[in-house]
Structure 1
Amino acid sequence: MDVGCITNNLPSIAHPPKHGTKEDKEDEPLVFDASLPRHEHNLPKQFIWPDEEKPCLNPPELVVPLVDLRGFLSGDPVAAMEASGLMSEACRKHGFFLVVNHGIDSRLISHAHRFMDDFFELPLSQKQRAQRKKGEHCGYASSFPGRFSSKLPWKETLSFQFSADKHSKNLVKDYLCEKMGHEFEQFGMVYQEYCEAMSNLSLVIMELLGMSLGVGRTCFREFFDNNNSIMRLNYYPPCQKPDLTLGTGPHCDPTSLTILHQDKVGGLQVYVDNEWHSITPNFNAFVVNIGDTFMALSNGRYKSCLHRAVVNNQKTRKSLAFFLCPRDDKVVTPPSELVDHVSPRIYPDFTWPMFLEFTQKHYRADMNTLDQFTNWVQRNKS
């Protein structure tokens, strides 16, 4: 792809469209071509984060519980109690834990990582066939310059919707083939299968979370049974100034539950006890964290924690993120067992599409997203 001439003294990693006057170009969002920045030492100011948010060197490692699912999956009640207890402890403190012996085929995980290269190593013009449109959450996004004018993340993503409804059996595959062509059919089949595996795993985790909160195994599993979730492929190219930018800025996930698989490069950091901590990659484990929607569902008992991703100057980092979300018509309201005079209602009733619209059109996700959304809902009601 011809990147054209560069204006505004911007380096070639971020460039405006090729046509129009200088004034027109200054009003246009930048285009981030991730194939070019590997050797670029000058970062556009839009990618440079404020000093108080820049990555720290050698953060301490976060000690997160390793939850072994083998016993629970085999029906061992003692193992189930132990697993739910570990989750409860983590979720009351920071909302992060690892799961191992989860039953997901290791070959499927490897394929899901390998097939990312088939997409992200394409020329920019071909990836843009799946371009994410303004106000939407699915499609290809290259650093989100169309949404934000500062603090841009150093990454590319490909997001698509998954439905556990039996009438939407091939939603992922059909979407990817529609956007990228039928030569991406195998690509689509891999992520269709991966999403189905993540959906099943999330329901297992929801059983244990239900046990840990004293509302029973079926409460949350049934709530998310026909989930309407989001899958995201994250691709963080090397950056020659990793101390100035971030792959993903500090935020809490607005979704219910995130199941993340990191490659071996690492870069996930979590903010706990007023300090950033790293979570070391473990290819045999999934990193699980509570999102804002489940924090509301638990009436604030379980925490949605601030986290971010950093980049490095040597290697591309890849991660697979499955964001569990309830079906569109489900009302997010805590079970009656979690509401009493000691723990009154904290958040209003809402549906996931309401919250998603808020984060896409009205508010950039950060540590205050759920509180800001609560205020927004109350203002609209009044």
Structure 2
Amino acid sequence: MTAGSGALPGPVRVESLAASGIATIPAEYVRSEDECASLADALDAAKNLDAGPQIPTVDLAKIRSTNEEERRSCAEVVREAASNWGMMQIVNHGIPQELIKRMQEAGERFFSLPIEEKERYANDQSSGNIQGYGSKLANNANGRRAWQDYFFHLVYPEEKANYSIWPKEPANYAEETKEFVRQLRPVVSNILAILSAGLGLEEGKLEEEVGGMSDLLLQMKINYYPPCPQPNMAVGVPAHTDVSALSFIVHNMVPGLQAYYAGEWVTVGCVPDSIIVHVGDVIEILSNGRYKSILHRVLVNREKVRISWSVFCEPPPDKIILKPLDALVHEGSTAKFPPRTFAQHIDHKLFLKSEGPQSTPK
């Protein structure tokens, strides 16, 4: 295993490392030997998708069908996907592809700016300011970093967004991003309603429990993964579960996302015009484990830039106590999670990371 050595000064952007022509990655980016055993170039990992299981694809047009059987069948596919995979790809979601393309082009143009231009929007993670342009830093005892730069900002409700930190270049960034999120918001409600019904609850129950239209926060993170000279030694995102209620992801059709399913890392295929939906920890808690927050990670590759737009749907930090819903806790089905606020849940997960290297499935 060969890698560079020495501490990295200041905020080092992964984009700079990739553009420098290095043949070996700095030691801070090299994963543990156990983790490396399961890593590969993302483009190679995606070559044999037909040989194994794939996350379900859900046609949301069927949930709007006048045919009751089609609606029931679609809802069942969503329930099974959330129960078995904790992840699905949705198509015919109702968001125009032209809008998604414009939003993506705006984000791509931001990341194509010179680094010194992007640095005008840099965040300061040491002071707790996580919104803005940054790079994924190590947040656990092993001190390893991820091969990723990003731009992170709260995008909904609009009255809570801080538009002063949003990119001013390209000029249409805010317009396209805001319109995408406006049209994503009813899709969020739709998925929550289907998941509620799948638990035998009223359709509005889960949305109510995570804050409803006024308090559910949508945070967008544009993830930028440049080519990596040693993709079998680095990751774009290490194995984790999302703390959010739901996460919605669009990407530039470059593979990299993997889900840990049935004891194996499964590469997620790139389905045209789809949005990937993750069940997060919050929904797993509320459903008392009936819906799964699946372990997932992102591989990198030697040749292509991968960009993804992740929208995390989060309850307010301290306003709501998250716990298994009373209707799902009964004799023979005790509560599997202690009551916590969302902020306390995040602190708990950060504490677990700080304890030391986490066991990562191979």
Query: In the alignment, which residue of structure 1 is the partner of 2:123?
Result: 132
Decide which of 267, 278, 283 is 1:278's aligned counterpart.
Answer: 267
1:58 counterpart = 2:51 = no
Query: In the alignment, which residue of structure 1 is the partner of 2:18?
Result: 37
Q: 1:119 to 1:343 in 2, by over 3 A?
A: same
Query: In the alignment, which residue of structure 2 is the partner of 1:193?
Result: 179
1:162 counterpart = 2:152 = no
Q: 1:365 to 1:233 in 2, by over 3 A?
A: farther
Name whichever of 313-322 and 84-93 sits farther off.
84-93
Give the Cα–Cα distance (whole angstroms) in 2 for the partners of residues 365 and 263 of structure 1. 35
Q: 1:202 to 1:366 in 2, by over 3 A?
A: farther
Give the Cα–Cα distance (whole angstroms) in 2 for the partners of residues 34 and 360 of structure 1. 26
Structure 1 residues 138-192: Cα deviation after superposition (integer angstroms, max 9, x where no partner): 222223258876321111111111333x744xx26x1434xx4x45552112212
1:98 counterpart = 2:52 = no
| 1:258-337 equivalences in 2 (<5 Å) | 258-328=247-317, 329-337=319-327
Structure 1 residues 334-377: Cα deviation after superposition (integer angstroms, max 9, x where no partner): 322211011111112222233334456774699989xxxxxxxx
Structure 1 residues 270-299: Cα deviation after superposition (integer angstroms, max 9, x where no partner): 111111111111131111111111100111
Answer whether contact 1:204 1:221 (CA < 8 A) is retained: no
Query: In the alignment, which residue of structure 1 is the partner of 2:62?
Result: 71
Give the Cα–Cα distance (whole angstroms) in 1 for the partners of residues 357 and 197 of structure 2. 27
Give the Cα–Cα distance (whole angstroms) in 2 for the partners of residues 365 and 126 of structure 1. 37
Give the Cα–Cα distance (whole angstroms) in 2 for the partners of residues 122 and 362 of structure 1. 37
1:141 counterpart = 2:131 = no
Name whichever of 281-290 and 325-334 sits farther off.
325-334
- SS of 1:34's partner is helix
Q: How many pairs were matched up?
A: 341
| 1:171-190 equivalences in 2 (<5 Å) | 171=161, 174-177=163-166, 180=167, 182-183=168-169, 185-190=171-176
Q: 1:334 to 1:147 in 2, by over 3 A?
A: closer
Answer whether contact 2:251 2:309 (CA < 8 A) is retained: yes
- SS of 2:76's partner is helix
Answer whether contact 1:156 1:236 (CA < 8 A) is retained: yes
Give the Cα–Cα distance (whole angstroms) in 1 for the partners of residues 327 and 192 of structure 2. 16
Answer whether contact 2:138 2:144 (CA < 8 A) is retained: no
Give the Cα–Cα distance (whole angstroms) in 1 for the partners of residues 68 and 164 of structure 2. 41
Counting aligned pairs with the same residue, the percent is: 25
User: 1:229 deviation in Å?
Assistant: 2.2
Using the size of structure 1 for normalisation, the TM-score is: 0.81
User: 1:63 deviation in Å?
Assistant: 1.8
Q: 1:176 to 1:198 in 2, by over 3 A?
A: farther
Structure 1 residues 226-256: Cα deviation after superposition (integer angstroms, max 9, x where no partner): 2112111011000111111111111111111
1:46 counterpart = 2:33 = no
- SS of 1:244's partner is coil
Answer whether contact 1:251 1:366 (CA < 8 A) is retained: no
Q: 1:204 to 1:275 in 2, by over 3 A?
A: same
Structure 1 residues 56-85: Cα deviation after superposition (integer angstroms, max 9, x where no partner): 463764322221111323554333321221
| 1:334-353 equivalences in 2 (<5 Å) | 334-353=324-343
Aligned alpha-carbon RMSD (Å):
2.9
Unaligned runs of 5+ in 2: none
Name whichever of 154-163 and 77-86 sits farther off.
77-86
Answer whether contact 1:136 1:360 (CA < 8 A) is retained: no
- SS of 2:172's partner is helix
Answer whether contact 1:104 1:197 (CA < 8 A) is retained: yes
User: 1:44 deviation in Å?
Assistant: 0.7
1:354 counterpart = 2:354 = no
Which has the higher relative contact order, 1 or 2, with Cα contacts under 8 A spaced 6 or more apart? Answer: 2
Give the Cα–Cα distance (whole angstroms) in 1 for the partners of residues 139 and 308 of structure 2. 23
Name whichever of 140-149 and 278-287 sits farther off.
140-149
